């Protein structure tokens, strides 16, 4: 007898379970709960152009389909990966003639400026209702002109209760799974694997059930890890483990131990941590703990962030590893951090002291008459591009805030500063 899963045209479980109406939607209660924005829009029948921003598998496409279905709009979809300006214009022309079209663009952050520009007129005139889905911050990835014409709604990774609800619903309602005797014995591994992604959860469930050789099909942590070929890392990216592991990671780099640092990096990657979160922390560390001891560290950390953003997981893990090892093996200094902390403390004590007249900008003749900019000395007019003058408010003259570190780079800085400011600052 052939397997119940041997249907060449059978959609995957995640697609079979996609809800068709809002009452069946699981999660995102801050958007779809009673009195929240999505049901209010549906009841009004007036759907604005929207960008749904959130992680994969959180319901962006499903909500777009539901909005179209429950307001009687024709659902038309484009993928930013394989659609260009030509396809966009064809749909806009269709919408202009027929109206009532909801245009859904998946991964809208992959549209270039020209492609996004091609949407502006149709959105502004109301020919189409645009719904874009993105996993990236739309502030950086969507042009301002288009962003200003859209409402942005943020979707979150599904909570444990939502994922469990989804598992039980699939087992009890899907026509294929109902024919199997499935028992949920343990759920830790399958929930951890999903990472709050409904699609990954349902795909994993289908795979485990498909691989079972006998009934009842017992869903256990061991079975899930065996079929997914994964060990279950002890890492809760939304709880205490998240903060403990990132803390250990940062402290290992600060402590110049590349071996421990790359271990904690691997723990986070295997646990499903957001690679951009890790890259942001490396950026901060490059300035906070290395600073001018090795200015190249910040440049590399910034390049790492851009590269992680560009290539995504899993390839970005190699970029994170390279940067982690470099930062861990680099000279360290927190002198820039201490200087800024000293400056903040000084400002909090002394308040908004007036800017000395010779440092003020003087764009008008009246300001010149009042002495703005008078006696300012332009450094490049002097030998060595330096001349003694006061840059502090009068009340703070000779205040030392920056103390260079003892590393090679900052010792060079100290010597330059000592030469320039001998008699003013004790370098």
> For 22-26, 30-34, 273-277, 340-344, which range has the lowest pLDDT when averaged over its residues?
273-277
The dihedral built from the CA positions of residue 373, 375, 381 and 383, taken in this order, carries a sign that is: negative
Question: pLDDT digit string (tens) for 199-249?
Answer: 999 999 998 998 887 888 889 988 888 888 755 555 555 555 667 889 999
Question: pLDDT digit string (tens) for 336-376?
Answer: 999 999 999 999 999 889 999 888 888 888 878 888 888 89
Q: Give residue 241's pLDDT.
A: 64
**How much is the mean pLDDT over the chain?**
88
Q: Give residue 340's pLDDT.
A: 93
* Both tokens assigned to 298: 């910040």
Mean pLDDT of 173-180: 88
The dihedral built from the CA positions of residue 36, 58, 246 and 280, taken in this order, carries a sign that is: negative
User: What backbone torsions phi and psi does residue 14 show, to the nearest 5 degrees?
Assistant: -60, -35
Confidence (pTM)? 0.57
Q: What's the rounded Cα separation, in Å, for the pair 318 and 321?
A: 5
For residue 3, is pLDDT > 50? no
For residue 6, is pLDDT > 80? no
Mean pLDDT of 106-134: 88
Q: Give residue 336's pLDDT.
A: 93
* Both tokens assigned to 301: 């950390």
- CB of 67 within 8 A of CB of 45? no
- CB of 249 within 8 A of CB of 266? no
* Both tokens assigned to 302: 């910034």
Taking CA atoms, 155 is separated from 28, 59, 64, in Å, by 6, 8, 13
Question: pLDDT digit string (tens) for 264-296?
Answer: 999 888 877 889 999 999 999 999 999 999 999
For residue 261, is pLDDT > 60? yes
Q: What's the rounded Cα separation, in Å, for the pair 194 and 165?
A: 14
């Amino acid at each position: 007898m052939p397997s119940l899963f041997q249907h060449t045209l059978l959609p995957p479980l995640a697609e079979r379970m996609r809800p068709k109406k809002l009452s069946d939607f699981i999660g995102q209660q801050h958007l779809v709960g009673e009195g929240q924005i999505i049901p209010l829009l549906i009841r009004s029948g007036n759907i604005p152009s929207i960008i749904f921003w959130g992680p994969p598998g959180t319901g962006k496409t499903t909500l777009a389909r539901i909005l179209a279905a429950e307001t009687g709009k024709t659902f038309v979809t484009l993928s930013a990966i394989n659609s260009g300006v030509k396809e966009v214009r064809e749909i806009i022309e269709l919408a202009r003639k027929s109206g009532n079209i909801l245009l859904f663009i998946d991964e809208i952050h992959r549209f270039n400026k020209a492609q996004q520009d091609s949407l502006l007129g149709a959105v502004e005139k109301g020919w189409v209702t645009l719904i874009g889905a993105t996993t990236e911050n739309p502030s950086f990835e969507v042009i301002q002109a288009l962003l200003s014409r859209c409402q942005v709604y943020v979707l979150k990774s599904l909570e444990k209760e939502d994922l469990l609800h989804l598992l039980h619903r699939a087992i009890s309602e899907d026509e294929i799974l109902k024919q199997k005797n499935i028992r949920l014995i343990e759920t830790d591994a399958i929930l951890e694997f999903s990472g709050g992604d409904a699609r990954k959860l349902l795909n994993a469930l289908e795979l485990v059930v498909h691989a079972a050789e006998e009934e009842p099909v017992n869903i256990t942590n061991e079975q899930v890890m065996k079929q997914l070929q994964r060990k279950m890392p002890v890492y809760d990216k939304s709880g205490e483990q998240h903060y403990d592991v990132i803390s250990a990671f940062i402290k290992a780099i600060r402590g110049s131990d590349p071996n421990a640092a790359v271990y904690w990096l691997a723990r986070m990657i295997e646990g499903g941590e957001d690679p951009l979160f890790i890259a942001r922390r490396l950026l901060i560390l490059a300035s906070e703990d290395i600073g001018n001891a090795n200015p190249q560290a910040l440049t590399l950390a910034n390049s790492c962030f851009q590269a992680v953003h560009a290539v995504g997981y899993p390839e970005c893990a190699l970029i994170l590893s390279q940067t982690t090892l470099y930062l861990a093996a680099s000279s360290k200094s927190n002198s820039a951090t201490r200087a800024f902390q000293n400056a903040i403390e000084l400002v909090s004590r002394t308040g908004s002291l007036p800017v000395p007249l010779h440092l003020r900008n003087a764009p008008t003749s009246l300001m010149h008459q009042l002495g703005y900019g008078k006696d300012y000395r332009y450094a490049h007019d002097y030998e060595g591009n330096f001349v003694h003058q006061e840059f502090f408010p009068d009340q703070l003259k000779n205040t030392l805030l920056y103390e260079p570190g003892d590393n090679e780079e900052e010792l060079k800085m100290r010597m330059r500063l000592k030469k320039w400011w001998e008699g003013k600052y004790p370098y």
